[in-house]
Amino acid sequence: MTSADRPLRVAVIGGGPGGLYAAVLLKRLDPAREITVYERNAPGDTFGFGVVLSDETVGGIENADPQVFATLGGHMVRWDAIEVVHRGRTLTSSGHGFAALDRRTLLSVLHARCRELGVALRFRTEAPPAAELARDNDLVIAADGVHSATRAAHADSFRPTLTTHRCRYIWLAADFALDAFRFEIAETEHGILQLHAYPYGPDRSTAVVEAREEVWRAAGLDRLDEREAAERCAALFPGTLNGRTLRGNRSQWTAFRTVVNESWSHENIVLLGDAAHTAHFSIGSGTKLAVEDALALAACLREQPGLPAALAAYEAERKPVVRSTQRAAHASLTWFEELAGYTRQPPYRFAFNLLTRSRRVTHANLRLRDREFVTATELEAGIPPDTPPMFTPFQLRGATLRNRVVVSPMDMYKSEHGVPGDFHLVHLGARALGGAGLIMTEMVCVSERGRITPGCAGLWNDEQEAAWQRVTSFVHQQSPTAAIGLQLGHSGRKGSTKLMWEGIDEPLPEGNWPLVAASPLPYLPGVSQTPQELTRSGMTAVREEFAAAARRGARAGFDLLELHCAHGYLLSGFLSPLTNRRTDGYGGSLSARLRYPLEVFDAVREVWPAERPMTVRISATDWAAGGTTGDDAVRIAAAFAEHGADAIDVSTGQVVAHERPDFGRSYQTPYADRIRNLLGLPVIAVGAVSSWDDVNSLVLAGRADLCALARPHLYDPHWTLHAAAEQEYEGPGAPWPEPYRAGSRRPPTGRTDAPKPRLAL
């Protein structure tokens, strides 16, 4: 649409900080551009009070427009401390670094800069529809907020997903300046409310009050007007307000809505800021993201040869950043939704948990910011000096694990007729020598027909038992403080398939064996074999196969047994409503779906030695509509605990082929966290836990007791020992085998520094 003989013509829908800043940058980069901003409100109208900008965002503004930066700099307030007020005690962590200013000031500065550059500002003007503007302009920037009319009008192109969350919140202000970012918790007869507050001027602070929907209603806050709500909220947080008042600014209680768009552009229309994405206010500011969008869009328009390429580059640059921010924001908002489960934690652990809730701030990162705070948290937890949390022991029934690291069960597909061989001896033995506290076998199948593939390991005959005893003997002799665990399972409807690298979940081309499952539903419709519905007599037979395998496992010398009730295999198939369509006493309600897995658990627990622990792996969500939910997972975990499970190994998904997992770093750990802190059960967290820093953070925050890692142990069999070396830890939690002790220091590398100059001329 752009004509080579005239400058770019741009329409901006929405006069918030993102839209205004985009206009400023585009005009500054090319003064000949014709840019018009449409804003339906008056210049002084705005919601909210202060906005928070990171140092990175402020630096971007400085580079792009030093004049705007210089003007804003005189209005910003800065601080580096976070205070957590809980049950009358205030704990302070420093070294964080924030900058904030009045939203009205920010808008005023951007208005002035727009006028100075020649941007046309049309206040009190409803923008024409984006499609109409697109006919007369080369580019339309839709910065029209979370309720974007542009996004709604072109939903087929943008393909938005809008998710409304479980808390209500309200923006208020106080006429005094806090000297830190402050979180305060109010425990009331109706439930938990929390305050997020920070300064944004020399005599002003923003105060956001948040509560679960049911708490908000029970407290009667839904029936109050703005003034009454401000008064009630002020009374709830004496530690911060100390009798001082709060006020509103067209403030209303609302539920946060996460906005995700598959595409950010449609022809010459592009989304920016909240129209494109939102991230919960507890990890930062929507203004920050919008300003960063504007910076990226302006840069891409300058760098790329044409509008289509520029919009594609803008989306490619910003989407990964926003996706990462949204993952962190989701972890943070979920933490606050589940806040009631953490209030019983000791003060420092509670504060550490809060500060690391988004997983962006970690144990190591927080130690760099405030070593004294982290040391106090570790002291409160009883961790010996100079001991990383991951290297503290953990007791499960009669077993003492030397550290919190678990080698996660990983199918190797290297057995012959179910017999583990030299590969398994080396594979599991190497990881035991590598320092992990607990080394888990792959899923060991209880029968020949219960295998996933022809290469799966088993424990249904004497030869297999003897082969496993060879492995456990090696571990106990060569790494005597390591424990080795046996995971028992049955493939159910996911059996009789090719080896993983030959075609995961694809049926064998020949030699298939019949499958059984909770219900006759193929895993891959039209591809997989349809299993037979397990009869009562068949259920009894399989239950006895589990018990027989457990007896063999005990004789083989395993220290721990885990019952595999996850990932869509047989027992998992009974638990999920998506795979259990039975009409007898083993289908329907969750309690009925639990019945058979609990029968199997009881049969195994009865024959498994009383002093040895048993755990259960569950899929805490199916990642699919109508499937197992987080609430279901809590009930499932509680049921197994009542029957004697010593810990719950919390995984997710792999139950149905049409799942939509929300992948990301440590993405499954919130499910383990919730079970642990609601039920008080030991849990094993798993799912993209990839660094020793993650393990330290999860353990010290009380989100997990043990952390299971798979791929890191494939990459490095000595991952745990190397984690100890990198943290300069040499204690009993990570003993080096004597033949390896010479390698307990990182090998030297070539010199990378250079002599410092001694003279300056």
- Taking only the tens place, the pLDDT of each residue in 427-440 is 999 999 999 999 99
Is the pLDDT at 49 greater than 90? The verdict is no
- Taking only the tens place, the pLDDT of each residue in 339-389 is 999 999 999 999 999 999 998 899 999 999 999 999 999 999 999 999 999
At 724, list the tokens: 């100890």
Supply the pLDDT for residue 484. 98
Q: Which 3 state secondary structure label does DSSP give 297?
A: helix
Decide which of 242 and 457 is more confident: 457
Average pLDDT, the chain: 93
Supply the pLDDT for residue 755. 58
Catalogue the long-range contacts made by 422-431 (C-beta closer than 8 Å, 24 or more residues apart): 424/457, 424/467, 424/471, 425/470, 425/471, 425/474, 428/471, 428/475, 428/484, 429/471, 429/474, 429/475, 429/478, 430/717, 430/718, 431/407, 431/713, 431/717
| Nearest Cα to Cα of residue 65 among 75, 73, 77, 76 | 73
- Taking only the tens place, the pLDDT of each residue in 583-601 is 999 999 999 999 999 999 9
Distance CA 727, CA 708 (A): 19
Supply the pLDDT for residue 186. 95
Q: List the end-to-end C-alpha distance of the chain, in Å, as a whole number.
A: 58
| Nearest Cα to Cα of residue 175 among 208, 199, 191, 154 | 199
Supply the pLDDT for residue 688. 85
The band of 108, judged by pLDDT with boundaries at 50, 70 and 90, is very high
Helix axis angle for 590-607 and 536-556, nearest 10°, is 40
Q: Is 715 a catalytic residue?
A: no
Distance CA 195, CA 182 (A): 8
Q: Which residues, 6+ apart, have CB-to-CB distance to 401 below 8 Å?
A: 393, 394, 395, 437, 438, 483, 706
**What is the tally of helices (H) and strands (E) in the chain?**
26, 28
Supply the pLDDT for residue 754. 53
Distance CA 304, CA 335 (A): 41
94-98, 109-113, 253-257, range with the lowest pLDDT: 94-98
Is the pLDDT at 102 greater than 70? The verdict is yes
| Nearest Cα to Cα of residue 500 among 664, 712, 654, 649 | 654
CB-neighbour burial class of residue 180 (10 A; exposed 0-12, middle 13-18, buried 19+): buried
Supply the pLDDT for residue 687. 87
- The strands making up 98-102's β-sheet, listed across from edge to edge, are 50-53, 98-102, 77-79
- Taking only the tens place, the pLDDT of each residue in 651-666 is 999 999 998 988 878 8
User: Is the CB of residue 650 less than 8 Å from the CB of residue 672?
Assistant: yes
User: Is the CB of residue 650 less than 8 Å from the CB of residue 628?
Assistant: no
Name the catalytic one among 169, 413, 569, 729.
Answer: 569
The band of 5, judged by pLDDT with boundaries at 50, 70 and 90, is low
1-10, 144-153, 472-481, 749-758, range with the lowest pLDDT: 749-758
Supply the pLDDT for residue 756. 56
Is the pLDDT at 761 greater than 50? The verdict is no
The band of 759, judged by pLDDT with boundaries at 50, 70 and 90, is very low
Q: Which residue has the tokens 């869509």?
A: 568
What type of residue sits at position 542?
V
Is the pLDDT at 518 greater than 50? The verdict is yes
Q: Are strands 516-517 and 405-407 parallel, antiparallel or unpaired?
A: unpaired
Is the pLDDT at 61 greater than 90? The verdict is no
Is the pLDDT at 93 greater than 70? The verdict is yes
Is the pLDDT at 751 greater than 80? The verdict is no
Distances (CA, A) of 386 to 444, 627, 731: 39, 45, 9
The band of 210, judged by pLDDT with boundaries at 50, 70 and 90, is very high
Distance CA 705, CA 724 (A): 18
Q: Which helix (H) or strand (E) holds 189?
A: none
- Taking only the tens place, the pLDDT of each residue in 265-298 is 999 999 999 999 999 999 877 888 999 999 999 9
DSSP classification of residue 531: P
Distance of CA 185 to the CA centre of its chain: 23
Supply the pLDDT for residue 604. 98
Neighbours of 268 (CB within 10 A): 21
Helix axis angle for 719-726 and 692-701, nearest 10°, is 80
| Nearest Cα to Cα of residue 273 among 45, 42, 23 | 23
| Nearest Cα to Cα of residue 213 among 162, 253, 258 | 253
Q: What is the greatest pairwise CA distance in the chain?
A: 93
Distance CA 156, CA 150 (A): 11
Is the pLDDT at 55 greater than 80? The verdict is no
**Alpha helices, H only, 172-223:** 213-218
At 617, list the tokens: 């792996």
The band of 1, judged by pLDDT with boundaries at 50, 70 and 90, is very low
Answering whether pTM is above 0.85, one says yes
Is the pLDDT at 332 greater than 70? The verdict is yes
3-state helix, strand, coil in the chain (%, to 5): 40, 20, 40
Q: Which residues, 6+ apart, have CB-to-CB distance to 646 below 8 Å?
A: 396, 397, 613, 614, 615, 682
Q: Which residues, 6+ apart, have CB-to-CB distance to 6 below 8 Å?
A: none
Supply the pLDDT for residue 752. 57
Q: Where are the beta strands (DSSP E) in 513-554?
A: 516-517, 532-533
CB-neighbour burial class of residue 281 (10 A; exposed 0-12, middle 13-18, buried 19+): buried
Neighbours of 512 (CB within 10 A): 12
